[in-house]
Amino acid sequence: MPLINVKLIENVFDSAQKAELIAKLTDTVESIYPGLRDVTFITIDDVHEGD
C-alpha cells in the first residue's frame, strides 16, 4: 500500500491544485503498479514559510 506524503508551503496552492496533485500522483502510482489505486494514500501537509 503506497503512502505518499507531500509537504507544501502554506497558502501557495489552493484546494483545486491540491486535488489535481493528488489525482496525478495516484495516476502515476497506478501506471507503475497496476491495481494499487484503491490502496494508494496521499497526504498533504501545509508548512509555514520559513519553517
CB 18 within 8 A of CB 44: yes
CB 1 within 8 A of CB 39: yes
Predicted confidence (pLDDT) at residue 51 exceeds the cutoff of 70: no
- What is the pLDDT, as a whole number, of residue 50? 80
pLDDT digits (tens, 9 = 90+) for 9-50: 999 999 999 999 999 999 999 999 999 999 999 999 999 988
Predicted confidence (pLDDT) at residue 6 exceeds the cutoff of 90: yes
Question: For the whole model, what pTM was predicted?
Answer: 0.88
CB 4 within 8 A of CB 25: yes
Q: Is 18 exposed, middle or buried (0-12, 13-18, 19+ CB in 10 A)?
A: middle
Q: Which domains does the chain carry?
A: 3-47 (3.30.429.10)
